[in-house]
Amino acid sequence: MNKIRISAVSYTNTKPFIYGLQHNPAIMHKIELSLDNPTDCAQKLIDDVVDIGLIPVAATLSLKQWEIVSDYCIGAVGAVNSVFIFSNCAVNEIRTLQLDPQSRSSNNLARVLLKNYWKADNLMIEVNADNYTQSTDPHTAFVQIGDRTFGKKEKYRFVYDLAEEWQKFTGLPFVFAAWIANKPIPVAFMEEFNEALKYGLSHRTELLKELPKRDDFDFEDYLMHKLDFDLTADKKKALYMFLEYVRAL
């Protein structure tokens, strides 16, 4: 059997999944695993470079065929503490929003909330290089996701956790990324794959011992409490609702 090609996000939020896969020798012999930033992960699935990707959910809109292949996701019920709009002004005073070049779903989530929740979508949207966070303009804000946000909450006057704001808007949790296939995957493999992911989640305590210590960020709180990995019925409802909002942008 040809190996199944898998791309996963390289951020800390994915480490429980990677831990589970890497501690399952049987499944590691069946896959080719690459770790990428979310945008590249999505593009690999779109270009059929991989068969399964832990991709930002908004990227499913660019796939001709897709299906969810796991009971697990990168999600949150309330604040996630790694997906933000950082701003020098209140949200209704933002004139320019700079998007994260490594993101799809979070950029779209920010735009959905600005348009439908904050009613503040009459602003300029910019896609920038990785140095985009250096703007000091008082009416410019930026979206940033993942490990690059760790320790930054205290550095900006206005900080909006997008998962928390989505819940205020809809009453639902949010799904940032899900395990998506662009073609049919054997059921037996999906079951084995799912068990490996479950193993990683159940061994987060061991994983935490391998992570570096930081004074400005609590990895235990993040992996054990802020992130919510189960792809529940409410999360699926939120996922499809979000895609409808993105289509209407």
Residues 6+ apart with CB under 8 A from 186: none
DSSP 226: I
CATH number assigned to the domain covering 4-75+175-232: 3.40.190.10
The helix (H) or strand (E) run that includes residue 161 is strand 158-161
Cα separation, 227 vs 72, whole angstroms = 11
Chain centroid, CA 50 distance in Å: 18
- Portion of the chain with pLDDT greater than 70, in percent: 96
Which pLDDT value is given to residue 114?
94
Confidence class for position 101, pLDDT limits 50, 70, 90: confident
Helix axes 187-202 and 15-22, enclosed angle (nearest 10): 110
Residues 6+ apart with CB under 8 A from 43: 49
In the predicted model, is pLDDT for residue 18 greater than 70?
yes
- Portion of the chain with pLDDT greater than 90, in percent: 83
Yes or no: say if 109 and 246 are a contact pair by the CB < 8 Å rule. Answer: no
- In Å, what is the CA distance from 183 to each residue of 45, 134, 180? 10, 41, 9
- In Å, what is the CA distance from 184 to each residue of 35, 51, 68, 69, 249? 22, 9, 10, 9, 30
In the predicted model, is pLDDT for residue 129 greater than 90?
no
Which pLDDT value is given to residue 130?
60
Residue ranges per structural domain of the chain? 4-75+175-232, 83-170
Identical fold at 4-75+175-232 and 83-170? yes
State both tokens at 221.
């709180």
Contacts made by residues 186-192, CB under 8 angstroms, sequence distance 24+ = 189/4, 189/30, 190/69, 190/70, 192/24, 192/26, 192/27, 192/30
pLDDT, tens digit (0-9, with 9 covering 90-100), for 198-247: 999 999 999 999 999 999 999 999 999 999 999 999 999 999 999 999 99
pLDDT, tens digit (0-9, with 9 covering 90-100), for 155-185: 999 999 999 999 999 999 999 999 999 999 9
Cα separation, 86 vs 101, whole angstroms = 15
pLDDT, tens digit (0-9, with 9 covering 90-100), for 30-82: 999 999 988 899 999 999 999 999 999 999 999 999 999 999 999 999 999 99
Which pLDDT value is given to residue 131?
62
Cα separation, 123 vs 85, whole angstroms = 14
Backbone angles phi, psi at 228, to 5 degrees: -130, 110
Best CA proximity match to 61, nearest among 243, 249, 241 = 243
Which pLDDT value is given to residue 39?
87
CATH topology of domain 83-170: D-Maltodextrin-Binding Protein; domain 2 (3.40.190)
In the predicted model, is pLDDT for residue 123 greater than 80?
no
Yes or no: say if 117 and 169 are a contact pair by the CB < 8 Å rule. Answer: yes
